[in-house]
Chains A and B, each alone.
Chain A
Amino acid sequence: MMPRAGLLALLGASVLLSAPALAQNLSFEQVSRGRELVTAGDCVACHTPEGAKPFSGGRAVETPFGNILTPNITPDRATGIGAWSDDEFVRAMQQGIGRNGEHLYPAFPYTAYTKIKRNDLIAMRAYLNTLEPVSNAVDVNQLPFPFNMRFVMTFWNALFFTPGEFKDNPQKSAEWNRGAYLVEGLGHCASCHTAKNALGGDETAMEGGNLQNWFAPNLTGDKRVGLGGWSADDLVDYLKTGHTAHTAASGPMAEVIEFQTSKMPDADLKAMAAYLKDIPPSPDKKPTPLAADDAAMKAGAAIYADNCSACHVGSGEGLPKLFPALKGSAIVQSDDPTTLLRVILEGGRSVATDGAPTAPAMPAFDWKLSDAQTAAVATYVRNAWGNAAGAVDARSAASMRGALRQE
């Protein structure tokens, strides 16, 4: 009789052999590099609903046109991508075309993934093949007519999609090129940080974008609303730990840091920082700060002293690694005050990472401040201590309050 361990090994082998073209990809190098790349792409975030098995799909991605459910990308042959060939996988990633030739929607960021090199995609596939196959059939397309007609994507692609793998810029360092590859490709930072036009195509790159009642800030070198005031080390700290001396990540970026950047190698984070720090500032639209004797500023100053100064302190400088500085903050001064209003009304918890486990949180003030008071304190912090940004009106606060109730 065959020893039991041997029988199990044989069974295992037959399962592996039944998946086509798999064995060649299961080298240690392929799988471990693939895991790093899948992490750098944060695939797990969109492809895993809360509480579900990783990568089993079904999480709703909100778009202005309706919801799309993410597919199951575990190697289950019937409901996942186990039956796909490598070429089919590469075509989906680089061209946004599904296994049966259908167009995928750009909620799946193939507009960025098109830059990923083929050998990296093969490594990612190799890693995905090591996952536990989960049977979970997802009806991806939840869009209303006419957006549920996939052929409309042909026209969209013609307008907004430039396919093609990333090409190194020989004028720049290897580090810069690695950073550009990660930021523009796998990291798909522009998915959130670039505003979308009415058809969902990109506006000017990296000048910030509004989604899910958050504003993903400007990542250009602008000093007031972008990364101009950040050092490359700040950026590495932020991506690695979610915290710097002056700011903390919360909301969707907290998730990016938790699942993606905190797990990336330092060299990649440094490369991303080098590239991001090299994006020239967007055109300066710096408004004149409101005068201190403006009525909203006076009301805002009083509300700030009573409600905010215990943590963010009177000078707006916060406490290092605990309470973010409002003075000089890009989030506070962004033309779009969405995140500021959201955090005042709803509060927010910063991300916990191994490097910064504290995860301090801000309490909600929606029960305590009226719309007018919320607007006044937002206006105040946008224009105190050398900050400058447009006044916020009570209607914006009311509309954010309403939007948060819908969530």
Chain B
Amino acid sequence: MARKLPTTDVVIIGLGWTGSLLAEELTAAGLNVVAIERGPWRDTSTDFPTTIDQDELRFGIRLDLFLRPSQETFTFRNNLSQDALPIRQFGSFLPGNGVGGAGVHWNGQTWRFAKTDFRLRSHLTERYGAKFLPEDMTIEDWGVTQEELEPFFDRFEYISGVSGKAGNIKGEKIAGGNVFEDPRARDYPLPPLETTYAMKLFDEAAKGMGYHPFPRPGANASRSYTNPFGVTMGACTYCGFCERFGCGNYSKGTPQTAVLPVLIRRPNFEARTLCEVLHINKDGSGKRATGVTYIDAQGEEWEQPADIVLVCAYGLHNVRMLLLSGIGKPYDPKTGEGVVGRNYAYQSASGARLLFDDKRFNPFIGTGVLGQSMDDFNGDNFDHGPLGFVGGSGISCASTHGRPISTSQTRAPGVGRWGADWKKQLASTYQNSTGISGQGSVYSYRDAYLDLDPTYTDRHGRPLMRMTFDWHDNERKMTNYIADRCTEIAKAMNPKSVSTNRLSDHYSVVPYQSTHNTGGATMGDSPKTSVVNKYLQSWDVHNVFVVGASAFQHNAGYNPTGTVGALALWAANAIRTLYLKNPGPLVQA
């Protein structure tokens, strides 16, 4: 039996990027905020200081900062005809855990989804006709426009300390930046990171082919930087231990380096760590949430009443929280009705691996964001008419790291994993190889979705969430088209050899691909095709806001965090300026 605590104004489920950004805004507005986080408190100097943060075995291989499947996992199947089985070791994606969430161990790549992404169905229909889209593709407009979000993208970039070069300021294109990007009000807060030799070769080859490469933007500070909250970050040292690692140098934009130092000084903020929310509670009408019930590290259950509930966990976990709490109608792929769990999407990877004879790339000089990218084949920046597919990929030549264990596993075809041949191969390829990669969109389909598993439960007896997902022909075509473009650019760089990576026939949860899982609690302008309205407010329970990549109606060829951050600040602004004055639905269904 849960013991009841005094009511607070706001309870936040999960203290990562979105939770900390919303907590900052709402405590600044004078509300009492309690954040409940199931992982531990995490702090730069105690949890990942420079003395230990480059321990690849601990963090990179044994995944010290990540969620353990025994605490929460998912079941998975490729299609409706299969029985889903539990994921017992996270592979293709790695959910975060603890204060800061995935914001601790991300690379830092910070992009804005394109204007066309936010009205994807309308845009593609207008340009190519409704018949051009596959019949089972369930993409939607998001109910919000990129223009509305621009100030919030901007604010997130300035909070997290993004290095980059603008390619379009208020409509004026700027050579050397991303000329495909939509207009931004001003440049990034920090200049681009340094350029490595591999990036330079890629840049020259891409330009030679008429493409428009630019330095990849992201929250690795190219200089020391003090953000709008007065928190200071240090210039990146290019150590190459970013993704899967915490940053001991205060160089990566994270909740820890950007938001928490000011948040924890506020007397109206409280974080309860090692506390796991079991469900959101509703009143008798079912139209208003009364708070949450959670279990602490001692196994005690508590009820935390609150006027507003913010669901700010990892996107997938947001969806499960709604399903477990009975908020919104679960999606049924057979009828196409219901919305919670609908439009789960992912990303596709492709690319080319280049081996040279005579180059020295010094791959140990790197950082998560570092890379030269081009958007010539991203989104709808190119004419899909003759190609027979929609969507696209960002294409990059990156210098993210040369870490010893993982680098030793990237080997030429036909060479074993150990022994004399392997050693010889590693010695000759470590310095001489680089890659070009495509990060591709995955659009939404009727049979790609999330629901509660009928068989498997967690340690509290609650059903696990079931993921049903596979690649579709549209994505196969797009990704292989991108693989060919990567290979062409690779050849123009004059390597000794090139190998091409294409999309696997079927999606597998085993090899690591991307922790960019999206959808399931999507935003939109109709409760028939979305879980939350344009302000990320539940259509059904007005004092519940669901914030994160769970709101994406599809996944684009961009890393999601920039858009997640912008949506969090957008939602916070709506709560502050609209909802608090008049609590109730902000959009009439």
Question: Which among B45, B233, B265 is the interface contact of A363 at CB below 8 angstroms?
Answer: B45
Cross-interface CB contact of B49 among A322, A355, A363, cutoff 8 Å: A363
> Is A355 a contact of B230 with CB atoms below 8 Å?
yes
Minimum distance in angstroms from A367 CB to a CB of chain B = 8
Please name all residues of chain A whose beta carbon is closer than 8 Å to the beta carbon of B45 when the two chains form the complex: 347, 349, 360-363
Q: In angstroms, how far is the closest chain B Cβ from the Cβ of A220?
A: 30
Report the Cα distance A368→B45, complex, angstroms. Answer: 15
Binds A, one of B234-242, B465-473, B506-514: B234-242
Q: Binary interface profile of A, 40-60, with partner B (CB < 8 Å = 1, else 0)?
A: 000000000000000000000
Q: Which residues of B contact A378 (CB under 8 A)?
A: none
Q: Distance (Å) between the CB of B220 and the closest chain A CB?
A: 14
Would you call B51 and A310 a contact (CB within 8 A)? no
B261 touches A363 (CB 8 A): no
**Contact indicator B44/A361 (Cβ below 8 Å):** yes
Contact of A307 with B by CB under 8 A: yes
Would you call B149 an interface residue if the criterion is a C-beta within 8 Å of the partner chain's C-beta atoms?
Answer: no
Please give, as numbers and ranges, the residues of chain A lying within 8 Å of B52 by CB-CB distance.
Answer: 363
Q: Determine whether the beta carbon of A357 is less than 8 Å from that of B224.
A: no
A174 CB within 8 Å of chain B: no
Q: Which of A355-381 contact B (CB under 8 A)?
A: 355-365, 368
Q: Name the distance in Å between B266's Cβ and chain A's nearest Cβ.
A: 10
Could you say which of A310, A356, A365 contacts B230, with CB atoms under 8 Å apart? A356
A321 at the interface (CB under 8 A from B): yes
Interface centre among A347, A358, A365 (most CB of B within 10 A): A358
**Bound Cα distance A310, B232 (Å):** 16
B250 touches A360 (CB 8 A): yes
CB pair A358–B51 under 8 Å, yes or no, is no
A311 proximity list for chain B (CB < 8 A): 50, 234, 249
Q: Kindly identify, within residues 220 to 255 of chain B, every residue whose CB is under 8 Å from any CB belonging to chain A.
A: 224, 226, 229-235, 237, 239, 248-250
- Contact (A322, B265) CB under 8 Å given A311-B234, A360-B232, A363-B51: no
Q: How many Å lie between the Cα of A311 and that of B247 in the bound state?
A: 12
Q: Which residues of A contact B233 (CB under 8 A)?
A: 322
Picked from A322, A357, A363, the residue with its CB within 8 Å of the CB of B262 is A357
Chain B residues, CB < 8 A from A105 = none
Q: Is the pair B250, A363 in contact by a Cβ cutoff of 8 Å? A: no
> Which residues from chain A contact B262 at a C-beta distance below 8 Å?
357
Using a Cβ–Cβ cut-off of 8 Å, how many residues does chain A contribute to the interface with B?
24
Q: Helix, strand, loop or mixed for chain A's interface?
A: loop
A348 to chain B, nearest CB (A): 9
Set of chain A residues within 8 Å of B224, measured between Cβ atoms: 319-322
* A355 proximity list for chain B (CB < 8 A): 230
The minimal Cβ–Cβ distance linking A344 to chain B, given in whole angstroms, is 12
Contact A319 B248 (CB under 8 A): no
Q: Is A354 part of the binding interface, using a Cβ–Cβ cutoff of 8 Å? A: yes
> Is there a chain B Cβ closer than 8 Å to A352's Cβ?
yes
User: Is the pair B49, A357 in contact by a Cβ cutoff of 8 Å?
Assistant: no
Question: Which chain A residue shows the least CB distance to B51?
Answer: A363
Which residues of the other chain, B, contact A322 by a CB distance below 8 angstroms? 224, 232-234, 250
Contacts A311-B249, A349-B45, A352-B261 known; A357 to B234 CB distance under 8 Å?
no
CB A2 to nearest CB in B, in angstroms, measures 32
Q: Which residue of A lies closest to B224 (CB)?
A: A319
The closest CB in chain B to the CB of A347 belongs to B45
- In Å, the complex CA distance between A17 and B116 comes to 74
Number of B residues whose C-beta is below 8 Å from A? 24
Given contacts A363-B50, A368-B51, contact A321 B44 (CB under 8 A): no
| Contact between B226 and A310, CB atoms less than 8 A apart | no
Q: Is A238 among interface residues, defined by CB-CB distance under 8 A?
A: no
Question: Does A113 lie at the interface of the complex (its beta carbon under 8 Å from any beta carbon of B)?
Answer: no
Binary CB contact string for chain B from 144 to 169 against chain A (1 if under 8 A, 0 otherwise): 00000000000000000000000000
- Flag whether A304 is at the interface (Cβ < 8 A): no
Nearest-neighbor residue (CB-CB) of A243 within chain B: B232
In B254-268, the 8 Å CB interface with A consists of: 261-262, 265
**A323 near B: Cβ within 8 Å?**
yes
Chain B residue, CB-CB nearest to A361: B45
A311 to B237, CA, bound (A): 9
Please report the C-alpha to C-alpha distance between residue A226 and residue B230 in the assembled complex, in whole angstroms. Answer: 29
Complex contacts, A354 vs chain B, CB 8 Å: 265
**Smallest beta-carbon distance B58→chain A, Å:** 15
Q: CB < 8 Å: which of B46, B51, B234, B250 contacts A307?
A: B51
Query: With A322-B250, A363-B49, A363-B50 in contact, is A358–B235 under 8 Å at CB?
Result: no
* A230 to B: closest C-beta gap in Å: 20
Choice from A307, A349, A357, A368 contacting B265 with Cβ under 8 Å? A357
Q: Is the CB of B231 within 8 A of A357?
A: yes
Complex CA–CA separation, A358 to B161 (angstroms)? 14
Indicate whether A323 sits within 8 Å of B234 (C-beta atoms), given known contacts A310-B50, A362-B45. Answer: yes
Q: Does B265 lie within 8 Å of A358, measured CB to CB? A: no
Nearest CB of chain B from residue A263's CB, rounded to whole Å: 14
Q: Which of B50, B226, B229, B261 contacts A359 (CB 8 A)?
A: B261
CB distance from A309 to the nearest CB of B (A): 9
Of B52, B233, B234, B237, the most chain A CB neighbours within 10 A belong to: B234
Are B234 and A319 neighbours in the complex by a CB distance under 8 Å?
yes
CA distance A360 to B51 in the complex (A): 15
Which of A347, A358, A365 lies in contact with B232, CB distance below 8 A?
A358
Residue of A nearest to B43 (CB): A361
CB under 8 Å from chain A, chain B span 80-131: none
Interface string of B40-59 (1 = CB under 8 A from A): 00001110011110000000
Chain A residues numbered 169-224 whose CB sits less than 8 Å from any CB in chain B:
none
List residues of chain B with CB within 8 A of the CB of A361.
44-46, 49
Output the least CB separation between B100 and chain A (Å): 15
Contact of B249 among A310, A352, A358, A359 (CB under 8 A): A310
Min distance, Cβ A71 to any Cβ of chain B, angstroms: 28
Residue of chain A at shortest CB distance from B264: A352
**Interchain nearest-CB distance for B46 vs A (Å):** 8
Q: Chain A contacts of B46 at CB under 8 A? A: 361
B51 contacts A365, CB within 8 Å? yes
**Which B residues touch A307, using CB under 8 A?**
50-51
Among candidates B230, B239, B249, B250, residue contacting A357 with C-beta atoms closer than 8 Å: B230
Q: Which chain B residues lie closer than 8 Å to A357 at the CB level?
A: 229-231, 261-262, 265
A186 to B44, CA, bound (A): 36
A318 to chain B minimum Cβ distance, whole angstroms, is 9
Report the Cα distance A360→B261, complex, angstroms.
Answer: 10
Q: Taking the nearest CB of chain A, how far is it from the CB of B130, in angstroms?
A: 53
Q: How far is the CA of A24 from the CA of B101 in the complex (A)?
A: 56
Q: Which residue of A lies closest to B49 (CB)?
A: A363
Instruction: Give every chain A residue within 8 A of B50 (Cβ-Cβ).
Output: 307, 310-311, 363
Residues 252-310 of A contacting B (Cβ, < 8 Å): 307, 310
* Contact partners of B44 in chain A: CB under 8 A: 360-361
Residue contact A310 to B237, C-beta cutoff 8 Å:
yes
What is the distance, in angstroms, from B163's C-beta to the closest C-beta of chain A? 16
Cα A354 to Cα B229 with chains together (Å): 10
Enumerate A332-360 residues with CB–CB distance to B below 8 Å.
Answer: 347, 349, 352, 354-360
* Distance in angstroms between the alpha carbons of A365 and B239 in the assembled complex: 19
Give every chain B residue within 8 A of A365 (Cβ-Cβ). Answer: 51
- Point out the residues of chain B lying under 8 angstroms from A358, CB to CB: 230-232, 250, 261
Q: What CA separation (Å) do A89 and B224 show in the bound complex?
A: 50
Give complex CA distance A357, B264 in Å: 10
Q: How far is the CB of A232 from chain B (nearest CB, A)?
A: 23
- Residue in contact with B226 in the complex, picked from A321, A360, A363, CB distance below 8 Å: A321
A365 → B minimal CB distance (Å): 7
Closest beta carbon of chain A to B364's beta carbon, Å: 14
Q: Are A310 and B239 closer than 8 Å at their CB atoms?
A: yes
Report 16 cross-chain contacts, Cβ distance below 8 Å, ordered by A residue: A307-B51, A310-B237, A311-B234, A319-B224, A319-B234, A322-B234, A347-B49, A349-B45, A355-B230, A356-B230, A357-B231, A357-B261, A358-B231, A358-B232, A363-B49, A363-B50
- List 3 A-B pairs, minimum CB-CB distance, nearest first: A363-B49, A361-B45, A357-B261
List 12 additional A-B contacts (Cβ < 8 Å) besides A310-B249, A319-B234. A307-B50, A307-B51, A311-B249, A322-B234, A323-B234, A347-B45, A356-B232, A359-B261, A360-B234, A361-B44, A362-B45, A363-B45
